Amino acid sequence: MAAYGLYTHISSNKFRSMLLLAGLFLLIYVVVFAGALVAEVLLHDGRSVDFYLTQARRDLITAFPYATIAAALWIVIAYFFHQNMIDAVTGGESVTRQQQPRLYNLLENLCISRGIPMPKLKVMDSPALNAFATGLNRRQYSITVTTGLLQALNDQEIEAVLGHELTHIRNGDVQLMVVAVIIAGVVGFFGELFFRMFTNLSWNSSGSSWSSSSSSSSSSSSSSDRDSKGAGGAIIAVIIAVALILLAWLLSQVVKLALSRSRELLADAGSVELTKNPDAMITALRKIENRGELPGATSAVMELCVDNPREGFADLFATHPSVDSRVKALVQFAGGHDPGPLALPSDAADAHDQPKESETGQPPVPRGPWSNAGEPAGVSDPRPGPSQGPWGRHS
């Protein structure tokens, strides 16, 4: 495993960032075309599919410059204000040396030792154990850590986490992730707008036509003589529009697959290269494991974090490799030692607060709906559950 400064990895990230931005415009054009199909169905009842497709293409050509300007405007807004948007979601606040001398000094020492420009430092008030880096250029780079991380990790472990995030900045991973967030935001916005419009449509069975729920019923008599072929064309056009929207959404999710999971392994290795302490990175990962969930954060923000406990179906869309695989790589290539899953004092306190079986007559309920994440080592739910099946995460 190469530890740091992989120019091919950095160049690949820059190329994929540009490719994803180009793909953003394509996805928006697909959504606009789908919206034009629905609009033509509303304006012209009982026409053929070819008619609707032809009209929608003309509408797309007309709307092309406006859609392009809208996409470019969103990119500009996200470029300058994405950090404010993320801070609004997570509650992260900038801190100074006087407010957080311990954290500030650890980050500053890492930057000075390698000649790395000092990013902004932010703290998020959350019991979760996590951290993430954001920014699209040197003036915007920032690292956000949670208060839970500061309380649970010692200085060496915090230094390892900061080194991990600094490596993301150096390797260009942050830019690629922010671009992915921009794409997901645009497609999600237009997709929601389309489906809100679509839910206002109703099928007029007597007139065999689509109409808006807000339109008057007098139009039904004028369309009662439409033949079944025209009615079928309207249905097929709407089905095509829905399929295009679903395709755009799916492609926006597949963008995650362009975010190679190897970036986390490289960032772990980069942290070891910075700190010369593989054991600190390993114990930090073991403490963060299954404790990094940020309740108010979107999935896009979680994908920026050191560990993302949220998984896709059968782990297909997971943006992070498992902690076990990351630790195994550090043990194999960096010579660290794996202590195994670690229990924190807070876990024992939470377990003590839960009622025992003798008090309630029932086995204790595991924390969280899907797994026993966060329980002390050696404590497990005796009943079978999702976390013990093929879809759950095993600690």
Neighbouring-strand partners of residue 120 = 142
Q: Which long-range contacts (CB under 8 A, 24 or more apart) does 35-38 make?
A: 35/190, 35/194, 35/197, 35/241, 36/60, 36/63, 37/237, 37/238, 37/240, 37/241, 37/244, 38/194, 38/197, 38/198, 38/201, 38/237, 38/238, 38/241
339-366 core/surface letters (b: 16 or more CB in 10 A; e: else):
eebbbbebbeeebeeeeeeeeeeeebeb
User: What's the token pair of residue 199?
Assistant: 């839910």
Residues 169, 270: Cα–Cα separation, whole Å: 11
pLDDT recorded at residue 268: 93
**What's 4-21 look like in SS3?**
CCCHHHHHHHHHHHHHHH
Distance in angstroms (rounded) separating the CA atoms of residues 241 and 201: 13
**How many C-beta atoms surround the C-beta of residue 255 within 10 A?**
20
Please tell me the predicted confidence (pLDDT) of residue 154.
95
Q: Which helix (H) or strand (E) holds 301?
A: helix 299-302
Q: Tell me the CA distances in angstroms from 188 to 10, 27, 194, 263, 376, one per residue in order.
A: 28, 11, 10, 25, 38
Summarize the chain as % helix, strand, coil (round to 5): 60, 5, 35
pLDDT in tens, 267-316: 999 999 999 999 999 999 999 998 999 887 777 788 889 998 876 544 55
Classify residue 368 as left (phi > 0), alpha (psi -120 to 50) or beta.
Answer: left
Question: Containing H/E element for 76?
Answer: helix 49-90
Which pLDDT does position 137 carry in this prediction? Answer: 83
Round to whole Å and give the CA distance between 9 and 210: 51
3-state secondary structure of 276: coil
Residues (pLDDT < 70) of the chain are: 1-7, 9-10, 13-14, 17, 184-186, 188-231, 253-261, 311-318, 348-395
pLDDT digits (tens, 9 = 90+) for 122-167: 999 999 999 999 988 888 899 999 999 999 999 999 999 999 999 9
Segment 312-336, tens digit of pLDDT: 544 555 678 889 999 999 999 888 8
Closest CA to 252 of 337, 175, 326, 191: 191
- Is 303 known to be catalytic? no
> Pick the catalytic residue: 40, 165, 293, 303?
165
For all residues of the chain together, what is the average pLDDT?
76
DSSP, collapsed to helix, strand or coil, labels residue 145 as: strand
